[in-house]
Protein backbone atom coordinates (compact mmCIF):
# COMPACT_ATOMS: atom_id res chain seq x y z
CA UNK A 1 0.00 0.00 0.00
CA UNK A 2 2.77 2.46 0.94
CA UNK A 3 4.22 2.09 -2.57
CA UNK A 4 0.90 2.09 -4.40
CA UNK A 5 1.13 4.84 -7.08
CA UNK A 6 -2.51 5.79 -6.47
CA UNK A 7 -1.92 6.21 -2.72
CA UNK A 8 1.21 8.24 -3.36
CA UNK A 9 -0.74 10.46 -5.78
CA UNK A 10 -3.45 11.06 -3.17
CA UNK A 11 -0.86 11.94 -0.54
CA UNK A 12 0.92 14.33 -2.90
CA UNK A 13 -2.39 15.94 -3.83
CA UNK A 14 -3.21 16.28 -0.11
CA UNK A 15 0.07 18.07 0.57
CA UNK A 16 -0.27 20.35 -2.45
CA UNK A 17 -3.90 21.31 -1.80
CA UNK A 18 -3.27 21.74 1.90
CA UNK A 19 -0.23 23.92 1.24
CA UNK A 20 -2.00 26.06 -1.35
CA UNK A 21 -5.10 26.68 0.76
CA UNK A 22 -3.09 27.45 3.89
CA UNK A 23 -0.90 29.89 1.96
CA UNK A 24 -3.98 31.51 0.44
CA UNK A 25 -5.81 32.04 3.73
CA UNK A 26 -2.70 33.35 5.48
CA UNK A 27 -1.75 35.69 2.65
CA UNK A 28 -5.33 36.93 2.26
CA UNK A 29 -5.68 37.54 5.98
CA UNK A 30 -2.31 39.31 6.07
CA UNK A 31 -3.29 41.52 3.12
CA UNK A 32 -6.58 42.68 4.62
CA UNK A 33 -5.24 42.91 8.15
CA UNK A 34 -3.38 45.94 6.82
CA UNK A 35 -6.65 47.56 5.76
CA UNK A 36 -7.96 49.65 8.63
CA UNK A 37 -11.67 50.26 9.08
CA UNK A 38 -13.32 53.50 8.08
CA UNK A 39 -15.28 53.12 11.32
CA UNK A 40 -12.66 51.69 13.73
CA UNK A 41 -13.70 48.69 15.86
CA UNK A 42 -11.67 45.85 17.31
CA UNK A 43 -12.53 42.23 16.64
CA UNK A 44 -13.98 41.93 20.14
CA UNK A 45 -16.11 45.03 19.57
CA UNK A 46 -17.32 43.65 16.23
CA UNK A 47 -18.26 40.39 17.96
CA UNK A 48 -20.19 42.26 20.65
CA UNK A 49 -21.93 44.48 18.10
CA UNK A 50 -22.97 41.60 15.85
CA UNK A 51 -24.17 39.52 18.81
CA UNK A 52 -26.40 42.38 19.90
CA UNK A 53 -27.68 42.74 16.34
CA UNK A 54 -28.55 39.03 16.47
CA UNK A 55 -30.44 39.55 19.75
CA UNK A 56 -28.05 37.30 21.65
CA UNK A 57 -27.16 38.24 25.26
CA UNK A 58 -23.50 38.75 26.07
CA UNK A 59 -22.01 37.16 29.20
CA UNK A 60 -20.35 39.47 31.68
CA UNK A 61 -18.04 36.69 32.82
CA UNK A 62 -17.00 33.23 31.65
CA UNK A 63 -19.35 31.48 34.08
CA UNK A 64 -22.49 33.24 32.90
CA UNK A 65 -23.72 30.63 30.43
CA UNK A 66 -27.13 29.67 31.80
CA UNK A 67 -30.27 30.58 29.89
CA UNK A 68 -31.81 33.99 30.43
CA UNK A 69 -35.47 34.92 30.60
CA UNK A 70 -35.74 34.52 26.84
CA UNK A 71 -34.18 31.06 26.90
CA UNK A 72 -30.96 32.17 25.19
CA UNK A 73 -27.60 31.45 26.79
CA UNK A 74 -25.31 34.48 27.12
CA UNK A 75 -22.34 34.29 24.77
CA UNK A 76 -18.81 34.80 26.06
CA UNK A 77 -16.27 36.77 24.04
CA UNK A 78 -12.75 35.69 24.94
CA UNK A 79 -9.18 35.62 23.71
CA UNK A 80 -8.11 32.32 22.18
CA UNK A 81 -5.04 30.83 23.81
CA UNK A 82 -4.21 28.54 20.88
CA UNK A 83 -2.18 30.96 18.79
CA UNK A 84 -2.57 32.91 15.57
CA UNK A 85 -5.78 32.34 13.56
CA UNK A 86 -7.13 29.94 16.18
CA UNK A 87 -10.49 31.72 16.16
CA UNK A 88 -13.43 29.45 16.86
CA UNK A 89 -16.81 29.14 18.53
CA UNK A 90 -17.14 26.60 21.33
CA UNK A 91 -20.80 25.54 21.68
CA UNK A 92 -20.09 23.78 24.99
CA UNK A 93 -19.14 26.99 26.80
CA UNK A 94 -20.99 29.22 24.31
CA UNK A 95 -17.79 31.15 23.71
CA UNK A 96 -16.59 33.15 20.73
CA UNK A 97 -12.82 32.77 21.05
CA UNK A 98 -10.79 35.28 19.04
CA UNK A 99 -7.06 34.99 18.43
CA UNK A 100 -4.59 37.74 19.28
CA UNK A 101 -4.56 38.99 15.67
CA UNK A 102 -8.33 39.44 15.76
CA UNK A 103 -9.42 40.22 19.32
CA UNK A 104 -8.05 43.76 19.69
CA UNK A 105 -7.24 44.59 16.05
CA UNK A 106 -9.24 47.01 13.93
CA UNK A 107 -9.06 45.92 10.30
CA UNK A 108 -11.16 44.24 7.64
CA UNK A 109 -9.73 40.76 8.19
CA UNK A 110 -10.30 40.85 11.96
CA UNK A 111 -13.86 42.13 11.51
CA UNK A 112 -14.69 39.37 9.01
CA UNK A 113 -13.33 36.60 11.22
CA UNK A 114 -15.05 37.92 14.36
CA UNK A 115 -18.40 38.18 12.57
CA UNK A 116 -17.96 34.66 11.17
CA UNK A 117 -17.52 33.19 14.63
CA UNK A 118 -20.59 35.09 15.80
CA UNK A 119 -22.37 33.43 12.86
CA UNK A 120 -21.63 30.09 14.53
CA UNK A 121 -23.02 31.38 17.82
CA UNK A 122 -26.22 32.38 16.05
CA UNK A 123 -26.44 28.93 14.46
CA UNK A 124 -26.28 27.34 17.90
CA UNK A 125 -28.87 29.72 19.33
CA UNK A 126 -31.22 28.98 16.43
CA UNK A 127 -30.55 25.22 16.50
CA UNK A 128 -29.40 25.31 12.88
CA UNK A 129 -29.77 21.69 11.72
CA UNK A 130 -26.39 21.17 9.95
CA UNK A 131 -24.67 22.64 13.00
CA UNK A 132 -26.53 20.24 15.29
CA UNK A 133 -25.59 17.31 13.06
CA UNK A 134 -21.94 18.32 13.06
CA UNK A 135 -21.90 18.61 16.86
CA UNK A 136 -23.48 15.16 17.16
CA UNK A 137 -20.80 13.72 14.87
CA UNK A 138 -17.87 15.11 16.87
CA UNK A 139 -17.32 12.12 19.24
CA UNK A 140 -17.41 9.40 16.57
CA UNK A 141 -15.52 11.59 14.08
CA UNK A 142 -12.72 12.08 16.61
CA UNK A 143 -12.49 8.34 17.14
CA UNK A 144 -12.57 7.73 13.40
CA UNK A 145 -9.82 10.22 12.61
CA UNK A 146 -7.55 8.84 15.35
CA UNK A 147 -8.02 5.08 15.13
CA UNK A 148 -9.44 4.18 11.71
CA UNK A 149 -6.06 4.08 9.97
CA UNK A 150 -4.71 1.61 12.55
CA UNK A 151 -7.69 -0.70 12.08
CA UNK A 152 -7.44 -0.56 8.30
CA UNK A 153 -3.69 -1.14 8.10
CA UNK A 154 -3.87 -3.72 10.89
CA UNK A 155 -6.55 -5.63 9.01
CA UNK A 156 -4.52 -5.51 5.79
CA UNK A 157 -1.45 -6.86 7.57
CA UNK A 158 -3.42 -9.59 9.30
CA UNK A 159 -5.00 -10.59 5.99
CA UNK A 160 -1.57 -11.76 4.89
CA UNK A 161 -1.08 -13.86 8.02
CA UNK A 162 -2.12 -17.49 7.65
CA UNK A 163 -2.88 -17.84 11.36
CA UNK A 164 -5.63 -15.21 11.17
CA UNK A 165 -9.01 -15.94 9.62
CA UNK A 166 -9.58 -13.90 6.47
CA UNK A 167 -13.08 -12.89 7.59
CA UNK A 168 -11.74 -11.39 10.81
CA UNK A 169 -9.12 -9.35 8.96
CA UNK A 170 -11.70 -8.17 6.43
CA UNK A 171 -14.12 -7.16 9.19
CA UNK A 172 -11.34 -5.22 10.88
CA UNK A 173 -10.65 -3.32 7.65
CA UNK A 174 -14.32 -2.53 7.10
CA UNK A 175 -14.69 -1.39 10.72
CA UNK A 176 -11.80 1.00 10.15
CA UNK A 177 -13.40 2.22 6.93
CA UNK A 178 -16.72 2.80 8.71
CA UNK A 179 -14.98 4.89 11.37
CA UNK A 180 -13.07 6.82 8.72
CA UNK A 181 -16.35 7.41 6.88
CA UNK A 182 -17.74 9.10 9.99
CA UNK A 183 -14.81 11.52 9.94
CA UNK A 184 -15.43 12.15 6.22
CA UNK A 185 -19.12 12.80 6.90
CA UNK A 186 -18.08 15.32 9.54
CA UNK A 187 -15.93 17.12 6.95
CA UNK A 188 -18.80 17.19 4.47
CA UNK A 189 -21.36 18.47 7.00
CA UNK A 190 -18.87 21.14 8.03
CA UNK A 191 -19.13 22.77 4.59
CA UNK A 192 -22.72 24.08 4.81
CA UNK A 193 -22.09 25.09 8.43
CA UNK A 194 -19.08 27.21 7.46
CA UNK A 195 -20.73 28.67 4.35
CA UNK A 196 -23.80 29.64 6.36
CA UNK A 197 -21.69 31.26 9.10
CA UNK A 198 -19.93 33.35 6.45
CA UNK A 199 -23.25 34.33 4.90
CA UNK A 200 -24.54 35.43 8.28
CA UNK A 201 -21.30 37.33 8.90
CA UNK A 202 -21.65 39.36 5.72
CA UNK A 203 -25.26 40.24 6.58
CA UNK A 204 -24.30 41.29 10.11
CA UNK A 205 -21.33 43.36 8.96
CA UNK A 206 -23.61 45.21 6.58
CA UNK A 207 -26.60 45.60 8.91
CA UNK A 208 -24.50 46.91 11.80
CA UNK A 209 -22.66 49.35 9.56
CA UNK A 210 -19.37 47.86 10.75
CA UNK A 211 -18.03 47.83 7.19
CA UNK A 212 -18.72 50.28 4.42
CA UNK A 213 -19.96 49.20 0.99
CA UNK A 214 -16.42 49.41 -0.35
CA UNK A 215 -15.02 47.29 2.53
CA UNK A 216 -17.54 44.44 2.30
CA UNK A 217 -16.03 42.80 -0.84
CA UNK A 218 -12.67 42.54 0.93
CA UNK A 219 -14.32 40.85 3.92
CA UNK A 220 -15.94 38.37 1.53
CA UNK A 221 -12.51 37.51 0.11
CA UNK A 222 -11.21 36.75 3.60
CA UNK A 223 -14.17 34.47 4.33
CA UNK A 224 -13.92 32.77 0.92
CA UNK A 225 -10.25 32.03 1.50
CA UNK A 226 -11.09 30.45 4.84
CA UNK A 227 -13.88 28.38 3.28
CA UNK A 228 -11.51 26.94 0.69
CA UNK A 229 -9.51 25.21 3.44
CA UNK A 230 -12.64 23.26 4.42
CA UNK A 231 -13.42 22.43 0.79
CA UNK A 232 -9.90 21.08 0.26
CA UNK A 233 -10.04 19.03 3.45
CA UNK A 234 -13.38 17.49 2.48
CA UNK A 235 -12.17 16.67 -1.03
CA UNK A 236 -9.05 14.92 0.23
CA UNK A 237 -11.06 13.01 2.84
CA UNK A 238 -13.48 11.75 0.19
CA UNK A 239 -10.62 10.65 -2.08
CA UNK A 240 -8.97 8.77 0.78
CA UNK A 241 -12.24 7.06 1.67
CA UNK A 242 -12.75 5.98 -1.95
CA UNK A 243 -9.20 4.59 -1.97
CA UNK A 244 -9.76 2.54 1.22
CA UNK A 245 -13.05 1.17 -0.09
CA UNK A 246 -11.43 0.17 -3.38
CA UNK A 247 -8.55 -1.48 -1.53
CA UNK A 248 -10.93 -3.45 0.71
CA UNK A 249 -12.88 -4.73 -2.28
CA UNK A 250 -9.78 -6.05 -4.08
pLDDT in tens, 226-246: 999 999 999 999 999 999 999
Res 194: pLDDT: 97
Res 67: pLDDT: 43
Residue 170: exposure state from Cβ atoms within 10 A (0-12, 13-18, ≥19): middle
Res 164: pLDDT: 55
pLDDT in tens, 162-198: 555 567 778 888 999 999 999 999 999 999 999 999 9
Element (H, E) at 96: strand 95-98
Res 70: pLDDT: 43
Percentage of the residues of the chain whose pLDDT score is greater than 90? 73
pLDDT, average across residues 72-95: 88
Res 171: pLDDT: 84
CA distances from 4 to 7, 181, 242 (A): 5, 21, 14
Element (H, E) at 32: helix 5-32
Res 166: pLDDT: 61
Any idea of the CA torsion for 95, 70, 128, 182, to the nearest 10 degrees? Answer: 60
Number of domains making up the chain: 1
pLDDT at 222 over 80: yes
Res 63: pLDDT: 43
Mind telling me the catalytic residues?
117
pLDDT, average across residues 187-213: 97
pLDDT at 47 over 50: yes
Res 3: pLDDT: 72
Domain containing 185: what range? Answer: 5-249
Any idea of the CA torsion for 63, 67, 202, 77, to the nearest 10 degrees? Answer: -10
Element (H, E) at 95: strand 95-98
Least confident range of 31-40, 77-86, 117-126: 77-86
pLDDT at 135 over 50: yes
pLDDT, average across residues 213-223: 97
Answer whether 220's CB lies under 8 Å from 206's CB. Answer: no
Res 64: pLDDT: 42
Least confident range of 47-61, 92-106, 162-176: 162-176
pLDDT, average across residues 60-66: 49
Q: Taking the complete model, does pTM exceed 0.75, yes or no?
A: yes
Amino acid sequence: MLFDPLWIAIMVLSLVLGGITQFYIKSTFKKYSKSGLARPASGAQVAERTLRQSNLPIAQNAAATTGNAFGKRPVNIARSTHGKLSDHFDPRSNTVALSEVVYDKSNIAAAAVAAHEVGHAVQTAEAYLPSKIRSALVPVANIGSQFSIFLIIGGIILAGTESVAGSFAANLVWLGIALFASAVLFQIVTLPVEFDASRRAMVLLRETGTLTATELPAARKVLTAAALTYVAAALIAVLQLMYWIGLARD
